[in-house]
Amino acid sequence: MSSHSKAAEKFIADRPRTDWHNQALWFVRQKRDNMARSIPEWEALREAAARTKMHTITHLAYYLEMFERNATANGIHVHWAKDALEHNETVYNILKEHGVKHLVKSKSMLAEECGLSPYLEERGIEAVESDLGERIMQLMHQPPSHIVLPAIHVKRQEVGELFERELGTEHGNSDPTYLTHAAREHLRDKFLHADAAMTGVNFAVASSGAFVVCTNEGNADMGTSFPKLHIAIMGLEKVIPDYDALAIYHRLLARSATGQHSTTYTSHYKRPVEGQEMHIVIVDNGRSKILGNPVHRNMLRCLRCGSCMNTCPVYRRSGGYSYSYFIPGPLGINLGMLADPKQYSGNVSACSLCMSCSNVCPVKIDLGEQIYSWRQELDTLGLANPVKKGIVKVLNTALGSPGMFHFCIKAGRLGEKISPRGLLYCGANAWGRSRELPEFTARTFEQIWKEELSSTASCNTETARKGSSTNI
């Protein structure tokens, strides 16, 4: 059993909660569909987005150097980090130089990827998450379960209890408006007293040396409005050529992510303001290696919108924590395998190959196809499931010759009749755990073909041939 199946078993044990989770995400997917249908050029926009990203990732060194040159000219300090450790050290050194004790953060998947918050906390720096969902998860001491909707799996009653304990809200009050406004007061204080602000980067515009941060809450904007120091961190694939490209992604991001026309705040940072210092850390951490992988380099196009998760039937019904990589869903399955196949191969089975993820992706990443290809690669990587390998060997023999094939069919029909239910539905039959096996038909297809269909079929072929010749 894969690591995902095992973890998902816990999640789906609570059936009403599974349905609730599924519905919550499906609602977001439907909002995305409404957006897509309201833009006549939607598919052409996706096409342009995919092509522009392909152009960018095949010119990454060029655009990154252009970005660095322009950002530096704008007065932004640019740093480069090979891996997660160098990223964490770079951030820590900047904070240490400025004597920072309290950092206020907006959501960044890169920070999660690098394990930044625990790294800073070990060194005596408090990193407060300011996105409401992220803050809820931080107070619960749990990771986010979705990259855009971090607390999508948490019920309002649980937030109510958490805030009563942590922020002193009224007992038994779980009204989202009341709780959100309590968090507003709590975080307002953090914003005003932070020594430094950190944001992620949605887009880095090479031609201008500016970077763009999108939020609905305005938490990134509030965070960067008071302290003298702003550190932005970006995966190197976040660079885009210019504003023409930004127009494309601006139109697609929020529509794909949450089904909004745009985020409430799409903020552009180009120069530090009076008395402020601005730093940006450009991080590789395996991305340059992904570029060299012909099957999987498309992953570098990703905007981190999360639409592949919202649409995924497996994610919706198994939750973010069923995946062993910190990013769940189709995106996480692929990124996990690229990060460390040995550690994360337990996720590749979490896919029904319905390809819905590939169909909603705003930059047309072939997410489902890539998961399929990872499954093909498992044996080469020495990670194939031995039970499944055994089954394939047996099938190979069973289907290897007509004699063997016929024998197996007969044996199967007999087996179905005489086997006790307890044996057919034993633990080894995962498929039969929540489903009934279909009954064998009275005759095999081969028998039906020989007895009835073959004569009619040849007749039809004859008619078809005549028909076509008449037409000619």
> What is the nearest approach in angstroms of another protein to the Cβ of residue 416?
46
Q: Does 270 bind another protein (CB under 8 A)?
A: yes
> What is the nearest approach in angstroms of another protein to the Cβ of residue 75?
9
Q: Does 162 bind another protein (CB under 8 A)?
A: no
State which of residues 7, 8, 36, 45 lies at the interface with another protein (CB under 8 A).
45
> What is the nearest approach in angstroms of another protein to the Cβ of residue 224?
8
Pairing relationship of beta strands 229-235 and 196-199 according to DSSP bridges: parallel
Span of 175-183, 361-369, 396-404, 415-423 interacting with another protein by CB under 8 A: 175-183
Strand order in the sheet with 102-105: 77-81, 277-283, 229-235, 196-199, 102-105, 126-129
Token pair listed for 374: 């990872």
Q: Does 228 bind another protein (CB under 8 A)?
A: no
State which of residues 1, 44, 394, 404 lies at the interface with another protein (CB under 8 A).
44
Comparison of 57 and 335: residue with beta carbon closer to another protein: 57
Q: Does 85 bind another protein (CB under 8 A)?
A: no
- 40, burial (CB in 10 Å: exposed 0-12, middle 13-18, buried 19+): exposed
Radius of gyration of the chain (CA): 27
Q: Does 266 bind another protein (CB under 8 A)?
A: yes
Q: Does 54 bind another protein (CB under 8 A)?
A: yes
Read off the amino acid at residue 441. Answer: T
Read off the amino acid at residue 92. Answer: Y
Max Cα–Cα distance, the chain, nearest Å: 89
Give one word for 259, left, alpha or beta, with left for phi > 0 and alpha for psi -120 to 50.
left
Comparison of 26 and 405: residue with beta carbon closer to another protein: 26
Quote the DSSP letter at residue 121: H
- What does the per-residue mask of binding to another protein show for 86-125, with x meaning CB under 8 A? x---------------------------------------
State which of residues 7, 36, 66, 81 lies at the interface with another protein (CB under 8 A).
81
Span of 7-15, 61-69, 318-326, 365-373 interacting with another protein by CB under 8 A: 61-69
Token pair listed for 312: 């995924």
Q: Does 449 bind another protein (CB under 8 A)?
A: no
Q: How many residues contact another protein, by CB under 8 A? A: 91
What's the rounded Cα separation, in Å, for the pair 383 and 329? 20
Token pair listed for 239: 């660079």
